[in-house]
Structure 1
Amino acid sequence: MASPTTALIIDDEELERLPLRLYIEESGCSVLEAADGRTGIDIIQKEQPDLVFTDLRMPGMSGLEVIEYIAREYPETPVIAVSGSSDVQHAVEALRSGAWDYIVKPVQDLSTFDVVIQRVLERKWLISENKRYQDSLEEMVRERTKELLMLSQVAAQSPVSIVITDASGSIEYVNPQFTHTTGYTADEILHQNPRIWKSDQTSTQVHRQLWETISAGNVWEGDFYNRKKNGDILLEHAIISAIRDSNGTISHFLAIKEDITEKVKLEEEAKRTQVKLIQADKLSSLGLLVSGIAHEINNPNNFIMRNTELLDEAWHDAMPILDEYYREHGDFNLGDFQFSEASGILPRLFSGLKDGSLRIRNIVERLKNFARQDSGSVKDCFDLNKIILDAISILNHEINKKCENFHLAAAHALPMAMGNAQQIEQVMINLIMNSLQSLPDKTRGIRIETALTEDNKHIVVTVTDEGCGMPSEVLEKLTEPFFTTKGDSGGTGLGLYISTSLLRENNGTLLFASKSEAGTTATVTLKVFQQL
């Protein structure tokens, strides 16, 4: 796949554009530059560059407005958002506006920059190839349809079903493909009416519209469900038209039909796979962002931790001197405190700083572990209670925002569970998030419990919420792919489907019990780890 020949850099600061321009030029590309969003748009309209880098914060036309314009007018042009902010929200906003990827400046690691460029170029290539393939496929279909209509003398060898009836609808001819598809022989079907294979899965309105269209001498094209001789249902795409005699009177009807049952199934599966690939690509991008942000947080946090320790040690070393001075001269000011107060307060402040910094480090580490590519086995052993605590830690902000009554009842001395710890953590995060999203207000509660079964062979986790619950018809479809009750808020319908699949891979189960306005309980069962 070829590298871009022209790249456009949009940034209001020349010093920020310079290193980016030099790096891109070294790769053999020509570089265009714009100092503001409006100038950048003008260059895009005139030059149509192969790749665009745009800063998000610029006077006048913002980077987000530039991204939205390119996504709307030049959707096949890759756009990489560049910002000095490491806030994930900026990245998400840029991606939602149409950016293909996101990098934080200044770029410290050029290999990261290479990865981002390679990823957007691969995506551009895939889009181009997909469009070329789709155009080619559509042209092939058009040509094939034209040939079938024009060369009726080869109907007997046609790969699609062909049916010819007289003006009243009595069947006069069916080709071998028809008999192969439906199971009827030609003798069984000749002089019958096409309603012989009609099913009740196509509405009467469709059949009425079909007949009115062809009776008026027009072509009808569409899909309908028919029934084979053995009773099986098939979905057919049909083109039905009238055949006129030399006087212009309709004498026959010609139907060309294709069994698209398997084709539709494959298309639906392809769409599901595409959604999963898109989601995986987004998660991969977010994983890189998390790693970068974790690095940016860890550096100042390590500085805080080390300096807090030094200050604490200095305070303890100075205490005997200060205490002696206090005994000889009485109380004295120490910053905003009297020494008599500071001697008790400052150690607690140092301790609080160390505890807070340590908590930041632990949260960052959990986020890095969650974003890291999974390399575990479904036969590993892990501490389920700890996995649940890690999931709660990751979701701590959401929990505090949406639930005031969150409780964990972890069983003591729980044996190790068998499975992939990272996958089970993902399942727990999905279940807790679903429970949080079901709560109508913060006063409603969520309770998580872990327990060992009586036979000591399985560990059970229950996540019970006091949310709005679900009726039985929703409960039945809950783990189906793409089924969601949160479509308006961005739900994909894949969370519980993926969770169920992950548990199945880990030899576990996921069951739900719920009633409308009565809350929901999700029950996860995992095997106890057995040492071989």
Structure 2
Amino acid sequence: MRSLSTRKRTAIVAEQQFSQTLAPNAAVSQPAAPVGNSAATQRGELAWQLMLRRLPALVWTTDRELTVASAGGSGGDFGRDLQTLVGSPISVCLGEDLTSDSPLIVAHAKALLGQASSLDHIFRRKAYRLYLEPLSVDGDIVGCVGMAIDITPRKSHDFVVHNTWPTPQDVDDASGRGQIHQRLSSEVEDRRLAEQALRESHDRLVQLAASIDSAFWIEDRTTSAPGRVIYLSPGYESIWGFRVEDALRAEQHAIWKSVHEDDRHRVQAFLHVDHDGPSPTADFRIRRPDGAIRWVRARAFPVCDATGKVERVAGIAEDITVRKEDEDRERRSERLATLGNFVAGIAHEINNPLGAALAATQAGLRSLPSDSPGLLRTCLDNSLSSIRRCTQIVRSLLRFCRDEPASHNEFDLRDVLAAAETITRSYASERNCQIDVQLADHPLPARGSALEVELVFVNLLRNAIEAGAKRVIVRCGLCEGQIEACVTDDGCGIPREQAWRLGEPFFTTRHKAGGTGLGLSVVHSIVHEHHGRIDFIPQDRGTVVRVVLPQILQEEPL
């Protein structure tokens, strides 16, 4: 014994005595080895350290001068490195320069007199239950052994943590160890149940957040990290398309960096949340990693401290893309209805001068002598043909606005494509564009309005020319039992993420050039009425438009 330091000797004795305290009724298979036995000492120290690491408490021993001889357990609760406690006065370790009449020092003094005790102690705004008892060797008290258990969760509902000093409760030495053991077991069980309840509450919150499509977030607004996201629910990944882990590791305002450039000013105003102002709401667009655009509606709520300062902002965001698209379709339908009435009135007004021009041209042709120059007759024939075509277009517009069915007849798609090329030839020549129509060698019979189908390809050819194409190729043929015609150009093309919007009323990429967004809308309607389909296929250079129409099967001759 004398060859060991006083501090180690006190620690070894504490291990033997404290083991008996935790299990006072346990059977002892062998007598304890003498303290001077080095092997037994090493085993005792190892068992002592292993036990301390498992305890949810801080355990310490002192000598008679109340200097800490050893320490172990969950010292993290005290915010201290346990090694720094050894060699320090107990008054410094568990308080700020405690005086001799402080209950904590009184309890240690009683332990030096052989009396066990317990008390509640407040340290760094946390509540602890302390147990003290004497540490003796061969009947001589050489110091104290103590234990501190964090009871803040259990106490938080019935008292406010502040620096008070309750009087220690004395424990009769004959039964004190059993009472301490019972209290220790009760405190450990209470803490285990509290931690289990906390885990269950956390699991329920995680399950709730995972089952909701909306995204929840919490931002830190303190001076140390303003705007940093400290929580994101799984709904963020389904809306934004980014990983939650990446957003949490990023710098401040990470989840707002994917906001559409046209909506960033709206989001910047949204992020300024006042403690006494209304909860702000904002609708804005975000760009996902795949380039898709989503509409998001977000609402923020301030979380203030006791002084009213905003320290956190909690928010919720939902995907309203489908709702926005429905609203856009409704607005377009209303505009189309208004435009239809307007076009119907214009078409009716145009009919009158067209009728007069048609009658005058026909009269001019009839009055020409048989030997009149061929050029004059050719000009009048062309004028008559154009007037008749204008009349048919006006009638088609009226029918289209009134939603009346067109008269369908059988026609050859090759004739329609040739007529469309003739109509747009001069327009293409003015813009230095070449149109190459490659017609099939066999008939392509279809049923419908040849004039309306002709309008489809006239619109497609004009769009290609206006896109800056220098060459437009038109091919036609049969594909899987259907008639197929493709218009390919080498113009500026259209972004792939916008191709799906082609055909929407009033959608155009040529607003500055006078585009109305109605041409392709009419094209879509005509193709749909003819039970066909139209596909827009963006290329690296230019665009391919494919029109598919049903084929009329010719009856086999008998």
Same fold (TM over 0.5): no
> So what's the TM-score if we normalise by structure 2?
0.43
TM-score if structure 1 supplies the norm length? Answer: 0.45
Structure with the higher fraction of residues in helix conformation: 1
